[in-house]
Amino acid sequence: MTLADRIGRRPPVVAGMFLTGASVFGIILVEGCLRGPCSRVCLVSGMALLYPNLMILPVDAAHPMWRATGMGVYRMWRDSRYGVGAIRIGLSMEFVNAEAAFYMTAILMFVSGTIVYLWMEETHPDFGTHDPPAPATEQPDKTVPHD
């Protein structure tokens, strides 16, 4: 049983976004020899809270008949944001400096965490406000042959 199964999907996502944003700020603001290890531990911990639970959300919300398609759409948007983020970071480093890229990343993590905190519905069936999809009652008519 995972943490998200015990407390719901939303709290780890929110905590992960805020912890990741705080660790990126820590990379910029903290001085001394412990800056690197401490910031990395916080960054990895935040992503460990955030990322697996983001993968569960489309599965919880999708009807079993189109769950795979829902995951594909989620992955398309997730992967396109990687490109947009890389361009944004590159532009801020080109036109301002590297420190500005870190500030922008941290601020966007906090903004994302705030949006999730305010608007995201809990999708866990036992804790949530989101109505789970109806179970699949019919089987698909056609099967896909395996190569």
- pLDDT computed for residue 2 by the predictor: 77
Q: In the predicted model, what is the mean pLDDT of the chain?
A: 82
Could you list the mean pLDDT of each consecutive 10-residue stretch along the chain, which spans 147 residues? 79 92 89 81 91 82 82 86 88 89 91 90 68 59 63
- pLDDT computed for residue 136 by the predictor: 54
Whether residue 130 contacts residue 120, with contact meaning beta carbons closer than 8 Å, is answered with: no
CB-based burial of residue 3 (10 Å sphere; 0-12 exposed, 13-18 middle, 19+ buried)? middle
- pLDDT computed for residue 16 by the predictor: 93
- pLDDT computed for residue 147 by the predictor: 60
